[in-house]
Structure 1
């Protein structure tokens, strides 16, 4: 299996991430996707649970930055409640937005985790720059047609990753 597609961690949701374990690994910064990672892709605002998760992350001393392929309007609207650094139209998996986020947070790649729901954007992009990558289960099955097609390929890749991990 191509190591660039393999996450360092796979969890059901952001709420299942052991933040203390990340601290123990030397992680001080988190890059996070929005759509189907924090909220379903058609949810405009952060939910109360997500707002509380951001508060917890900040209170634990993590720096945090949203990196999303979504439009500026989408990212700004979502960020109204959580008030963190944010990058829109990231064109993940290209490296530029990940490196920009690391620069904005004033950290280093080996101290940064990337949390997202897509192997071919979030995980591939994060791995390309040397981040600790965390794959979460997508929150919604309702997605754009292209994303639905990519999910079929991701299922095959994920199955191979999980089988490889059980060897």
Structure 2
């Protein structure tokens, strides 16, 4: 297992630190974003005013935002319908199923999209497998839903390998 497959292209504190200007500079036309602990805290489904403003800015500028989540259709729909964003549920990350479906559904080319997520083992790995750029963010809350806890254990082990080879991941304030 090559650790490079888990290295993000960018690392920022929060999804909202991926600014409109940085997306335009990178010629990004679509943002795929994980749901739990990336867009919203898994235990706080209404999101924050800052998140709503970020979504509004991107959408107003014509950048498509698609939530790509491993959660069930019902869970993702309930979480994002109030934000007016598209979504792909049951994405099966770290596999590329959801990313591939979203790119095909919206006619998005690999070089025009970026995946934002809080997990190396699912979000970043899926982005690498799909051939798209990735942004790692810090989880919004330190607790996880029970389904995620095993991945966090595996992630800690992978982070130690990454740090041993490349040093610690340096989270920036923007891409």
The normalised TM-score by structure 2 is 0.85
Greater CA drift, 122-131 or 45-54: 45-54
Taking the aligned partners of 1:27 and 1:103, their CA distance within structure 2 comes to 16
More deviation in 143-152 or 63-72? 143-152
In 1, distance between residues paired with 2:82 and 2:146?
A: 29
Deviation of 1:103 after TM superposition, in Å, equals: 1.6
Query: 1:162 and 1:59, CA in 2 relative to 1: closer, same or farther beyond 3 A?
Result: farther
Q: Does 1:6 align with 2:33?
A: no
Deviations along 1:30-89, whole A, 9 cap, x unmatched?
101110001111222333222111101112221111111112221111122211211111
CA distance in 2, matches of 1:106, 1:145: 35
Q: How far, CA to CA, are the matches of 1:54 and 1:18 in structure 2?
A: 11
Query: 1:29·1:64 contact (CA, 8 Å) conserved in 2?
Result: yes
Query: Could you say which residue in structure 1 is the equivalent of 2:42?
Result: 41
- Counterpart Cα distance in 2 of 1:31 and 1:133: 9
Residues 65 and 84 in structure 1, CA contact (< 8 A), matched pair in contact too? yes
1:82 aligns with 2:103: no
The count of residues paired between Structure 1 and Structure 2 equals 166
Note the alpha carbon deviations across 1:119-146, whole angstroms, 9 max, x for none.
1111000110111100000111221345
Runs of 4+ in 1 over 3 A off after TM superposition: 159-163
Name the TM-score, length of structure 1 as normaliser. Answer: 0.89
Is 1:36–1:138's contact at 8 Å kept on the other side of the alignment? yes
Q: Provide the secondary structure at the position in 2 that maps to 1:26.
A: coil
- 5 Å-filtered alignment, 1:16-95, equals 16-95=17-96
| Unmatched segments (≥5 aa) in structure 2 | 169-175
**Greater mean deviation of Cα atoms: 78-87 or 129-138:** 78-87
Residue 121 of structure 2 contacts residue 154 of structure 2 at CA under 8 Å; is this kept in 1?
no
Retained in 2: the 8 A contact 1:51–1:81? Answer: no
Q: What's the C-alpha RMSD, in Å, of the aligned pairs?
A: 1.8
Contact 1:46 1:81 (C-alpha < 8 Å) held by counterparts = no
